A and B are shown apart, each in its own frame.
Chain A
């Protein structure tokens, strides 16, 4: 056994050498949720957000909408600890502009509030437009200029107030999380059952403004936003000359309709955008059994990437950071599992997760470091996991709560959307990428196959 000890020592010496010679390791990227994990709660900024002021009567109902949306956005951002309003000083003293804070800072920075920062402001309606003046102030250094000082202008409607609150929360989140943009203006596309069929619907990231976008009277499923959020690729079953088969379909957000996309023989499904937006990877049986293919996003030049007859290959997803790798699902080894290859199909490797079978629905985190997926447990339930690609370290996100499938990352890398039947029906949920902060976005009917926009 001596040689083994030798190896151990040699590796340790080598590592020590590395540590001595290496330049300081770069600090983890700010969006690196996995490594910071639940410890992030400790370093979250304690933020006070007193109600904004309404400087005229017409602004009063909009101010209530704005306050609630801003609060919910910031509370769900994952980077901010909201100071409960019950810890604030008397409402009559709440400032609506920074000058009113002069000499009052300690009321906010001392116990019980213990706030480090404050978002504050006021708004007015003029004609049909709403104008919000908003600030973000460091309460420990009020003599410095505010971190954020901005006028937000929009429609004097509840929807206008919602949008301005989203814009301001995005600015605050970006400032407090090292430049990672907030997600308050992102959208989620999903399938919604209509009769026997499924149509695509889109909603805001918080579940507001649900609206159906397709009317194809067939199954419209597996939707994926293009990186510029201008198009949605999905799988449809539109008949053509009497033949029904799964085909790639493309919906244009600008044209508000399904665009032309060429049909291929066989079953064509699960389109996935390359981060450049120029290519789609997908599963196609055009040459026999389902294999991974890619095609230009205008439908030209299909190329076969995998060659594993007598197996199913589907659910491709590109590395959104580099565009150089594709992870996909294959059952060539028996149960479906995850495989990784170059975007040209070379360098195929199985992502070995000992003890885990039936792994599907891979979703690649925006920073390129993590994979979310769902694992079908022996009891038939599905749970969501996150895996660090470099170390294969796993984090379980759901537990004992029915089936949880089809995770997809928000562009901030801190949130996931997924489908769950934990309430007895299939609905769309979001959560933080550590499994906390569950939010149910749909409540009626059957809703499934969600996808979060890239921006």
Chain B
């Protein structure tokens, strides 16, 4: 205790000295102000870069239904919306689309300041729910055939485009089988560290779950857990194998 009071009194003393020193420095600075030459005029402003935002409403439709795409842009002279739509009018507007399958729409804004791109995905579910491929197929078999795992990049828990496709398919299955619950297991490759990987695996499972919630799946039907890098799918030491192990794995819950 004594030494801590000692050091705190020292700290106070140092503080006083520092304040004193700073006062001197500030004084010196103020004297110099008059000597500073006027700032050169700023260079002519470059043309502002364009910005663009694309949204879809709704972004989940059943086959045959319409979705409306909205765009807003700034500093753009031309806008191109692909696929199927083509050139559209800046700065903002909307159009209806009726995609027959899940489609990612990309809008490109071009202006004097450069380009900007935004995307939105409209997910299309088949008109009729997928029927059992054979009447004899068990739920386990259907689950194994239709429910796909979501894969991740190293050290990441964000949903990649291929994972969006897989999870969208999973959502369709879960929608068609309302009595099916799932456990989503997060897995990581061996290159990360033990404790950090266990947390990362949980966040991967959470990311998959949150994506399915965004597609309208009831969160109560999905439980998450993480194995970290324990219980890997593949035990070789190469990227093919590591990629196998970086996933949110779907397990049928009973």
Interface residues, chain A, CB within 8 Å of chain B?
2-3, 6-7, 10-11, 13-14, 17-18, 21-23, 26, 196, 198, 219, 221-222, 235, 237, 242-246, 266-267, 269-270, 283, 285, 288-290, 310-315, 329, 331, 335-336, 358, 360-361, 374, 376, 380, 382, 405-406, 448-449
What is the CB-to-nearest-CB distance from A404 to chain B, in angstroms, rounded to a whole number?
A: 11
**What are the residues of chain B within 8 A of A405 when measuring CB–CB?**
193-194
Q: Given contacts A18-B13, A267-B226, are A380 and B191 in contact (CB under 8 A)?
A: yes
Kindly state whether residue B240 has any CB partner on chain A within 8 Å.
no
Q: Given contacts A2-B28, A23-B6, A246-B226, are A406 and B17 in contact (CB under 8 A)?
A: no
Q: B28 near A335 (CB under 8 angstroms)?
A: no
Kindly state whether residue B39 has any CB partner on chain A within 8 Å.
no
Q: B198 near A361 (CB under 8 angstroms)?
A: no
B-side binding surface: helix, strand, loop or mixed?
Answer: helix
**What are the residues of chain A within 8 A of B253 when measuring CB–CB?**
242
Kindly state whether residue B85 has any CB partner on chain A within 8 Å.
no
What is the CB-to-nearest-CB distance from B63 to chain A, in angstroms, rounded to a whole number?
A: 33
What is the CB-to-nearest-CB distance from B150 to chain A, in angstroms, rounded to a whole number?
A: 16
Q: A246 near B225 (CB under 8 angstroms)?
A: yes
What is the CB-to-nearest-CB distance from B5 to chain A, in angstroms, rounded to a whole number?
A: 12
The CA-CA distance from A285 to B206 in the complex, in Å, is 9
The CA-CA distance from A361 to B206 in the complex, in Å, is 23
- What 0/1 readout, one digit per residue, does chain B (13-54) give for beta carbons within 8 Å of chain A? 110011011101100110010000000000000000000000
CB contact list, B166-207 vs A, under 8 A: 183, 191-196, 198-203, 206
Q: Would you mind naming 23 contact pairs between A and B with Cβ atoms under 8 Å apart? A: A2-B32, A10-B21, A10-B24, A17-B17, A21-B13, A196-B231, A219-B231, A242-B253, A243-B225, A246-B225, A266-B224, A267-B202, A267-B226, A270-B198, A285-B202, A285-B224, A290-B199, A314-B198, A315-B195, A331-B196, A374-B193, A382-B193, A448-B194
Can you name the residue of chain A whose Cβ is closest to the Cβ of B26?
A: A3
Kindly state whether residue B164 has any CB partner on chain A within 8 Å.
no
Q: A270 near B21 (CB under 8 angstroms)?
A: no
Interface residues, chain B, CB within 8 Å of chain A?
3, 6, 10, 13-14, 17-18, 20-22, 24-25, 28-29, 32, 155, 157, 183, 191-196, 198-203, 206, 223-228, 230-231, 253-254
What is the CB-to-nearest-CB distance from B171 to chain A, in angstroms, rounded to a whole number?
A: 20
Q: A6 near B24 (CB under 8 angstroms)?
A: yes
Q: B21 near A14 (CB under 8 angstroms)?
A: yes
Q: B193 near A312 (CB under 8 angstroms)?
A: no
Can you name the residue of chain B whose Cβ is closest to the Cβ of A267?
A: B202
**What are the residues of chain B within 8 A of A449 when measuring CB–CB?**
194
Q: B10 near A22 (CB under 8 angstroms)?
A: yes
**What are the residues of chain B within 8 A of A244 when measuring CB–CB?**
225
Can you name the residue of chain B whose Cβ is closest to the Cβ of A328?
A: B195
Further contacts, 12 of them, CB under 8 A, given A242-B253, A245-B226: A2-B32, A3-B32, A14-B21, A18-B13, A22-B10, A219-B227, A222-B194, A243-B225, A267-B225, A269-B198, A312-B199, A374-B193
Checking A18, A269, A285 against B10 with a beta-carbon cut-off of 8 angstroms, the contacting residue is A18
Q: Given contacts A26-B3, A267-B202, A267-B225, are A14 and B230 in contact (CB under 8 A)?
A: no
Q: B32 near A14 (CB under 8 angstroms)?
A: no
**What are the residues of chain B within 8 A of A285 when measuring CB–CB?**
199, 202-203, 206, 224, 226
Q: B25 near A314 (CB under 8 angstroms)?
A: no
Q: Given contacts A18-B13, A314-B195, are A198 and B225 in contact (CB under 8 A)?
A: no
What is the CB-to-nearest-CB distance from A194 to chain B, in angstroms, rounded to a whole number?
A: 13
The CA-CA distance from A206 to B230 in the complex, in Å, is 28
Q: B3 near A222 (CB under 8 angstroms)?
A: no
